[in-house]
């Protein structure tokens, strides 16, 4: 019998907020900003912690904790996902909110950054219980969210249905339908075509660009993908569609490997039937941790924060890492990987496809005019590739790696917006 690893067990014990703050501090130093501006960029603009009493289906009552952190509003309303995970902490949400600010600025979508979380393992609750939790959380944070204030979206453990419940709760309380309160909604209630696959499409656009940059043709490339959820499964499928041989994938139960390449469509079917990649007939089981050490051209960590850390970064044999997850590489791992010549495409660029199409969804909703799937796909690709080119150029202009280039670009844009607007009063 395989053991389920919690998200915390998968990642290192490091606090992602330390890494987020260290990235910001380095950027502030390079950009020559003073202490006041540094503190302003380092501090969340608003944080809210709420208790969420939940009546279980058996009649008992449990109290969960919910967070919403709004890191910055200088460039527009706050934007970011809502995560359901038993390990969610305020510091994790703070880090994720800060990364959303940089992601939106880097991709030049007119938002600040936010993130939410609830301490719940959604796999252990019924659909009705999840609906009650979502509605109560939405009601508790209602005063601080809104289509012009802060717009939630799906993240780990949440989906289109979660967004539909949030939209309904908010709308019922307002007295009219407010589609712009969330993105990542079902298409039937104002969601955008292409939103559900947007993050993984974006990951693959930059993965192919990174392979080209390294002179590797997709048909000769091999890849390993950690995580087979919304981001990982789509990434594996689109990589395979592009001719890349995906030789290993993993989930929280373990990993599987097939050197001749996995049949991703068959694997998705197996996943749908059994809830895990384990037991798939076309592959051998391997320990989950080994996936990160495989000799592949491309490694895509698409699970949680901190999976590449001081203890395993030196064992990475991949040429390129494209961060499908937020914060999968700790600062210590980053330095080891840079020293070993591994090209790391940072999260705020690599996984930005989701928030780009969230922005498209919000724009379409505001105009009550919907685009075709082809329009969404083409605009997503154009934005991802423009950002990739920009980060590459900034990196060589400044003589820094891609994460530093991306962070510098984003921090500078947010600081510019803040300085142009000035301080009130």
Among 153, 292, 298, 387, binds ligand GLU (CB under 6 A): 153
| Residue 373: count of CB within 10 angstroms of its CB | 12
Per-position x/- string for 277-296, each x denoting binding to ligand GLU as judged by CB under 6 A, each - no binding = --------------------
Residues between 317 and 336 with contacts to ligand GLU, criterion CB under 6 A: 326
Options 202-210, 236-244, 282-290, 353-361: segment touching ligand GLU (CB under 6 A): 353-361
Question: Number of residues in contact with ligand GLU, rule: CB under 6 A?
Answer: 11
180 binds ligand GLU (CB under 6 A): no
Tokens of 403: 């994460």
Taken in order 39, 44, 50, 52, is the CA torsion positive or negative? negative
Smallest gap from Cβ 158 to ligand GLU, in A, equals 9
Cα–Cα nearest to 111, from 72, 155, 81, 69: 72
Distance, CA of 152 to CA of 97 (rounded, Å): 11
Residue (196 or 252) nearer to ligand GLU, CB: 196
Catalytic residue among 115, 185, 245, 319: 115
Residue (355 or 402) nearer to ligand GLU, CB: 355
Among 109, 248, 318, 355, binds ligand GLU (CB under 6 A): 355
Residues between 75 and 104 with contacts to ligand GLU, criterion CB under 6 A: 79-81
Options 212-220, 222-230, 248-256, 350-358: segment touching ligand GLU (CB under 6 A): 350-358
Distance, CA of 91 to CA of 97 (rounded, Å): 10
319 has catalytic annotation = no
183 binds ligand GLU (CB under 6 A): yes
Q: What is the DSSP string of 308-343?
A: B-TTTGGG---SEEE--SSS-B-HHHHHHHHHTT-E
Cα–Cα nearest to 97, from 74, 125, 72: 72
Distance, CA of 144 to CA of 152 (rounded, Å): 11
Smallest gap from Cβ 163 to ligand GLU, in A, equals 10
Ranked by CB distance to ligand GLU, the top (closest) residue is 81
Residue (115 or 245) nearer to ligand GLU, CB: 115
Among 354, 365, 380, 409, binds ligand GLU (CB under 6 A): 354
Give the CA distances from residue 295 to residues 154, 257, 399, in Å, rounded to whole numbers and listed in that order.
33, 12, 28
Q: Report the SS3 class of residue 116.
A: strand
Q: Report the SS3 class of residue 361.
A: helix
| Bridge partners, residue 78, by sequence | 150
Smallest gap from Cβ 357 to ligand GLU, in A, equals 7
Among 72, 222, 235, 358, binds ligand GLU (CB under 6 A): 358
| Residue 395: count of CB within 10 angstroms of its CB | 18
Options 15-23, 232-240, 347-355, 383-391: segment touching ligand GLU (CB under 6 A): 347-355
Smallest gap from Cβ 34 to ligand GLU, in A, equals 30
Chain CA centroid to CA 349, Å:
10
Tokens of 253: 């139960």
Smallest gap from Cβ 237 to ligand GLU, in A, equals 19
Smallest gap from Cβ 358 to ligand GLU, in A, equals 3
Residue (247 or 357) nearer to ligand GLU, CB: 357
The answer to whether residues 120 and 133 touch, using CB atoms and an 8 Å cutoff, is yes
155 binds ligand GLU (CB under 6 A): yes
Ramachandran angles phi, psi of 358, nearest 5°: -60, -45
The answer to whether residues 41 and 24 touch, using CB atoms and an 8 Å cutoff, is yes
Half-sphere exposure of 295 (CA within 13 A, CB side): 1
Which residues contact ligand GLU (rule: CB under 6 A)?
79-81, 153, 155, 183, 326, 351, 354-355, 358
Active site residues: 115
């Amino acid at each position: 019998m395989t053991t389920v690893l919690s998200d915390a067990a998968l990642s290192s014990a490091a606090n992602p907020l330390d890494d987020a703050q260290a990235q910001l501090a380095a950027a502030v130093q390079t950009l020559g900003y003073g202490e006041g501006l540094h503190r302003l960029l380092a501090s969340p603009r608003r944080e809210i912690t709420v208790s969420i009493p939940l009546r279980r289906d058996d009649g008992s009552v449990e109290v969960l904790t919910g967070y919403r952190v709004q890191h910055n509003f200088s460039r527009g309303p706050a934007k970011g996902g809502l995560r359901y995970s038993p390990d969610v902490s305020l510091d994790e949400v703070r880090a994720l909110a800060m990364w959303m600010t940089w992601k939106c600025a880097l991709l030049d979508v007119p938002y600040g950054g936010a993130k939410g979380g609830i301490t719940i393992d959604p796999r252990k609750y019924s659909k009705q219980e999840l609906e009650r939790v979502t509605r109560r959380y939405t009601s508790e944070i209602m005063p601080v969210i809104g289509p012009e204030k802060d717009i939630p979206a799906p993240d780990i453990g949440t989906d289109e249905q979660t967004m539909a419940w949030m939209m309904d709760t908010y709308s019922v309380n307002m007295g009219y339908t407010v589609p712009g309160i969330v993105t990542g909604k079902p298409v039937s209630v104002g969601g955008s075509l292409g939103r559900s696959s947007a993050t993984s499409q974006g990951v693959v656009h930059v993965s192919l660009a990174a392979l080209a940059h390294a002179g590797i043709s997709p048909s000769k490339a091999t890849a390993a993908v950690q995580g087979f959820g919304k981001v990982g499964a789509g990434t594996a499928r689109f990589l395979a569609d592009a001719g890349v041989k995906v030789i290993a994938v993993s989930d929280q139960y373990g990993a599987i490997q097939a050197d001749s390449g996995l049949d991703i469509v068959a694997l998705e079917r197996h996943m749908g039937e059994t809830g895990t990649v384990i037991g798939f007939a076309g592959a051998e089981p391997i320990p989950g941790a080994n996936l990160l050490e495989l000799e592949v051209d491309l490694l895509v960590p698409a699970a949680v924060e901190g999976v590449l850390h001081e203890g395993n970064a030196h064992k990475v044999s991949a040429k390129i890492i494209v961060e499908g997850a937020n914060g999968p590489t700790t600062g210590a791992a980053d330095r080891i990987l840079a020293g070993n010549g591994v090209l790391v495409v940072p999260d705020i660029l690599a996984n930005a496809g989701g928030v780009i199409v969230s922005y498209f969804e919000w724009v379409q909703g505001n105009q009550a005019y919907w685009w075709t799937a082809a329009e969404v796909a083409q605009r997503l690709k154009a934005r991802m590739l423009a950002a990739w080119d920009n980060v590459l150029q900034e990196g060589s202009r400044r003589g820094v790696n891609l994460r530093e280039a991306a962070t510098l670009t984003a921090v500078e844009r947010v600081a510019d917006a803040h300085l142009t607007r000035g301080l009130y009063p």
